[in-house]
Amino acid sequence: MNECQQQSVQCPYCGELIELSIDFSAPNQSYIEDCSVCCHPINIAVDIDFDQQVHLQVTHENE
């Protein structure tokens, strides 16, 4: 079982695709990661299903 998985998400600021490493050991997490392209802080919410389906939500910091 892999503990970490790469996922691509679209930056809500600049629209570029950025790679995230999702940590599967925590089923629900939210954190802020700076976009590697435009450096804006992105709110990232991660939800992992019982069958390892990943649901990602990315929002502006102030939403």
Q: Closest CB to Zn ion among 38 and 54?
A: 38
Binding mask 1-40 for Zn ion (x = CB under 5 A): ----------x-xx--------------------x-xx--
Least distance CB 7 / Zn ion (angstroms): 16
What tokens does 3 get? 């503990």
Least distance CB 6 / Zn ion (angstroms): 17
- Please state, in angstroms and rounded to a whole number, the distance separating the CA atoms of residues 10 and 14: 8
Helices (H), 2-54: none
Q: Closest CB to Zn ion among 35 and 56?
A: 35
Q: What is the DSSP letter of 48?
A: E
Cβ–Cβ under 8 Å, residues 54 and 48: yes
